[in-house]
Structure 1
């Protein structure tokens, strides 16, 4: 468990989980928060109870489907079963003390907040949501000017490990030809994608220049982070944000 490292600590709470400190057994060891990956549900529930000790109230969770759908949270909630969660990949709220949660295991978690702390959002930045302009669609929910919004990019698969096909390259260059610079062509007709650079380019294009990240690679950090690309059968990390 680690705090989000950006200058908004006084007005916004943020947590990034790691794979450490939970009850799950291999291959989910140990702080797996995903009920849908084959882990023992009772153990996952125990991990959620540990997480809740660090939160002001139960988090709002999604059924993430690699879409560009954004849900605005207008009422405080109790934790929902997976079958009851909305199918979307981003959350936005103005509510105080209502954590928003995104799960990942290589995709890029993106936290957004107005600099006054009155609006927050969490985005599941897989390549499909990013190619669907999920960042822009989430930013459209904000009333704060774009120049007064900060972004934090959490741990994700790094630019030396994220191998993709030409279909992914084409999906991004169709929306912005400059995205070609976010890919490195390999000899096997594949490409290495820099998902951090993709997100930063989209944020800059929206006028958001206050971007913070440690640029940690999940794939190359097996002792700290889950990685689907590395292990296939594995747990899920959570990234959370809330208004204080």
Structure 2
């Protein structure tokens, strides 16, 4: 099945500091590509994979679940760990949840995590109806393009496959029990006006992780897909500064980086 324009995975071979970027549910690498480019231009090694079932058509996603999505980012992370001396994991929305589980599972192999509007649970009565509803209805309305910036759109599905949504709900419940295992330094940026993920998710994550080096930043001018919104440049620069504080050699790699 052809990949949607902009949904292609991205890799850049840079220096000894690596960053894995994880996109969101029903989205694709396009939502994080400007962030990936920003980091690559500064000499970092960057991996931005396309999650299974994403970036083509929603019917393909119907056949996948959280184990498939997690396995993909876990594989990419292991490649970076073998390749780089310091590795960071960044994620948007469900990508933030995937980042948190990677942090819980891989411990000190990850130097730090950056989360943008991370999702932690499904809210409302519809979430409780998923186990039954997924057998009666195949899809519900899409979640993409919650962006305040005029003229900016997100590449993704206009429908949410309910089998996949049910799997995501199960993943959130598993992850919630694992959050105390997260100890890495964390930068969490979230939008008070988010029409996809409730602000309560960020608050719960911050209350349950064991990280002691934590920075919380409010993205006042952006909606859910903040990496394509008014606060995008702030996210990019703050995350790069976060890396520079924890891996000081990262800022000196541009001269030695090669390829794209």
> TM-score normalised by the shorter chain: which range applies?
0.3 to 0.5
* More strand as a share of residues: 1
TM-score with structure 2 length normalisation? 0.34
